[in-house]
Amino acid sequence: MSAQLHSCPRTQTPVKVQAPGKINVHLGVGGAGADGYHELATVFQALNLNETLTLIPGGSSSIVVGGRYGDAEVPQDESNFARKAINLLIAALEDDRDVDVLRDLDIVIDKQVPVAGGMGGGSADAAAALVGAAHLIGGVEESILQECAVAVGADVAFLLHGGTAIGHGRGEKLSPVLTRGSFHWVMATSAGQLSTPAMYARFDELTPDPEPAVVPAEVLTALAAGDPDTLATAAANDLTDAAISAMPELAEVMEAGRDAGALLPLLSGSGPTIGFLARDAHHALDLAVLLQATRGVKEALRTTGPAPGAHVIESH
């Protein structure tokens, strides 16, 4: 993706930033590298389900979490993804730039992306924090934002850009994907949680000799054509069997979605959220009503993709 300068006047006043959650429209998993990370060939799609962060200069480095998922357990110390991202940006710039305004920021997070569901909510917080912090200091080179994003997590780099993109490596080597129109998703969350490392370890047990990960050409053709029916026949998530083996009820939820007419049940990231692809907005509404009443589904959230990446929505 192109290098550009996020340039704007420096400011001491609060900035409000939005960043989207995501689904992996396709997640191909290959073998593990020497660093233990698996080689991915994935297609991310940013969803119109956003985290909103307000960064307030001159505070006491507090983190307040509210919103729909404000009650979830989100770290409020240095391990919080938003704080981690800002600390990395400070470290990357402090020798050359005045970054003092970033040292005592209060961060208010309006959580609208389910927590620990495989939808990248924490990564969205990091992406939003980077874009907001860049705004507060008058702009930061794209390549530096990208480096800080990757250092927090592979998904963060994608959420800076949004849209739909192929991710290779750990998912951080990105190239944009052409899409037509909007895709309609119903995201079915689960009351339980799945650990990402455990899902990759289970993948290794279930797939001792994995093929190199690929994105099927039909997935890209279907996205370019805005054709959900074809997308449904081509897309897959290679962590699905691992997730089902750890949480067998996911198979029932996927089956219930198919029975309710979903084109495709798709594990989101390493789960446990399942994204159900719908034909259009009406179909999504019907599906959401049926899924909401399904055992094992905590919430059925309707959304669409692609959506824009992290961006400033308000600054005074």
Interface residues toward ligand C5P, by CB under 6 A: 32, 36-38, 40, 153-154, 170, 196-197, 200
Instruction: Output the smallest distance, CB 142 to ligand C5P, in A.
Output: 22
* 3-state SS, residue 208: coil
**78 CB burial (10 A radius; 0-12, 13-18, 19+):** exposed
Distance of alpha carbon 93 from the chain centroid: 26
74 among the known binding-site residues?
A: no
CB 276 within 8 A of CB 288: no
Does the annotation mark 155 as catalytic?
yes
Rg (CA), the chain: 19
Both tokens assigned to 149: 């994003």
Instruction: Output the smallest distance, CB 218 to ligand C5P, in A.
Output: 23
Q: Which of 223, 308, 301 is nearest to 268 (CA)?
A: 301
Q: Which of 281, 71, 98, 119 is nearest to 184 (CA)?
A: 281
Q: Return d(Cα 111, Cα 17) in angstroms, integer.
A: 12
162 among the known binding-site residues?
A: no
Instruction: Output the smallest distance, CB 200 to ligand C5P, in A.
Output: 4
- Of the pair 106, 204, the CB lying nearest ligand C5P is at 204
* 3-state SS, residue 38: strand
**Backbone dihedral region for residue 54 (phi beyond 0: left; psi -120 to 50: alpha; all else: beta):** beta
* 3-state SS, residue 51: strand
- Per annotation, catalytic residue among 16, 22, 84, 111: 22
Other C-beta atoms closer than 10 Å to the C-beta of 183 total 28
- Per annotation, catalytic residue among 110, 125, 155, 238: 155
Does the annotation mark 77 as catalytic?
no
Instruction: Output the smallest distance, CB 136 to ligand C5P, in A.
Output: 27
- Half-sphere exposure (CA, 13 Å, Cβ side) for 138? 8
Instruction: Output the smallest distance, CB 170 to ligand C5P, in A.
Output: 5
Spatial CB neighbours of 225, under 8 Å, sequence gap ≥ 6: 180
Q: Return d(Cα 153, Cα 170) in angstroms, integer.
A: 9
- Of the pair 37, 178, the CB lying nearest ligand C5P is at 37
- Of the pair 1, 200, the CB lying nearest ligand C5P is at 200
123 among the known binding-site residues?
A: yes
66 among the known binding-site residues?
A: no
- Of the pair 9, 36, the CB lying nearest ligand C5P is at 36
Instruction: Output the smallest distance, CB 199 to ligand C5P, in A.
Output: 7
36 among the known binding-site residues?
A: no
- Of the pair 9, 197, the CB lying nearest ligand C5P is at 197
- Of the pair 40, 188, the CB lying nearest ligand C5P is at 40
Size of the chain, expressed as the number of residues it contains: 316
119 among the known binding-site residues?
A: yes
Binding region for ATP: 114-124
Binding region: 114-124
Residues recognised as catalytic:
22, 155
